[in-house]
Amino acid sequence: MSYHQPVLAPESIEGLAIRPDGVYVDATFGGGGHSRMILDQLGSQGRLIAFDQDPDAAKNVPEDERITFVPHNFRYLNRFLRLYGHPKVDGILADLGVSSHQFDEADRGFSYRFDAELDMRMDQKQAKTAAEVVNTYSATQLQEILGRYGEVRNARTLARHLCAERAGAKVKTTGDLVRIVEPVIRGQRLRYLSQVFQALRIEVNDEMEVLDLFLRQTLTALKPGGRLVVIAYHSLEDRMVKNLLRSGHTDGTVDKDFYGNINRPFTVLTRKAVQAAPQEIEQNPRARSARLRIGALKEKQDG
C-alpha cells in the first residue's frame, strides 16, 4: 500500500525531542510515516503507542515489538494509555485531517475526484455518512456546517439549493453532489468543492468534538516536560491547538489564581505556527494548509 510522505516530518519529529528510552504516542498513525521516524530514534527500551480508527491503517504497522497499535479513535487516549501501562508519556504527536491514502481511495467518498458512494466515514463501523447529512439535515443545519467547517462564502444559497435538489432525488454519490453544487459555485471551482467536502467530512466524523476531547486529555497524559506536537489543516483546529497551548483550554478561557496570575500549563515552543517550505508544498500539495504547533508541559504550574 502506497502512502505519501508525512507532512512537516522533520520539524514535527524534532519537536518531540525524542529520548531513546521514552514513551511516545502517534495519535494519527495513517500510513505510519511519522511512527517509523519515531521508532528510528527510539532505543530498545523505548515505546510507541499508535492510534488509528481506520482499518486500512492496521495493514501498515511494522513488525516491531516497541510499537503497540490501538485500532481506535484518539478520543480514547487516556483509556488506552492506562490499559497498556503507560498513563504518562514523554510526547504526543497528532497529524490531523484525512490521510493522502483516504483521499486516494475512491470508494471512501472523501474526494470529489472520484464518483463513489457519499460516505466519508473514517470509522467504517459508525452509522452516520455524508449521504445522511446531505439528505436529512435541514437547510439551517447545512448552512451552519458549510459556513463553519467549510468557510463556504455562499453557504446559505448552497444549503437551500441542496434541499431543493434532494427533493427530486436522493444524493447518493460524490458525483451527484458535485453536479448539484456546480451551478452555485463561487470563486475557484476546485477550492470551493474542497471546502464543501471538508465541511461534510468534519461533520460526519465529529472532528471538532473529538479534537477537543483529545487535546484536553493531553494535559493529564503528558509527563512534566513532555511535548505536544500537532499539525492542523483547518483554522478551527489550529485555533483550538493554539488556545490549549496558551491557556490550557481549547476555547481560550484562562484560569487565574487569587492574585490574578494566569495558569499557563504549557511552554509554547512555536510563537507562530510552523508552515511547510515551498519545496515541500510542491512535492506534497496537502502541506499547503498545514500549521504545526509545539508545546512542552511545564514542570510546575504557574501561580
Averaged over 111-120, what is the pLDDT? 75
Mean pLDDT of the region 117-133? 88
CB 198 within 8 Å of CB 146: no
Q: Is it true that 9-100+208-297 and 127-204 share their CATH fold?
A: no
CB 34 within 8 A of CB 82: no
CATH number of 9-100+208-297: 3.40.50.150
Domain 127-204 has CATH 1.10.150.170: yes
Q: Are 143 and 156 in contact (CB under 8 A)?
A: yes
Spatial neighbors of 20 by CB under 8 A, at least 6 apart, are 41, 42, 43, 45, 46
How confident is the model over 159-181, as a mean pLDDT?
95
Query: Residue 81: is its pLDDT beyond 70?
Result: yes
Q: What is the pTM of this model?
A: 0.89
Q: Is the pLDDT of residue 169 over 70?
A: yes
Report, as an integer, the average pLDDT of 188-198: 92
Answer whether residue 69 shows pLDDT above 50: yes
pLDDT of 98: 66
In 3D, which of 66, 51, 76, 81 has the Cα closest to residue 20? 66
Residue 263 has pLDDT above 80, yes or no: yes
**Cβ proximity of 235 and 198 under 8 Å:** no
Domain coordinates of the chain in residue numbers?
A: 9-100+208-297, 127-204
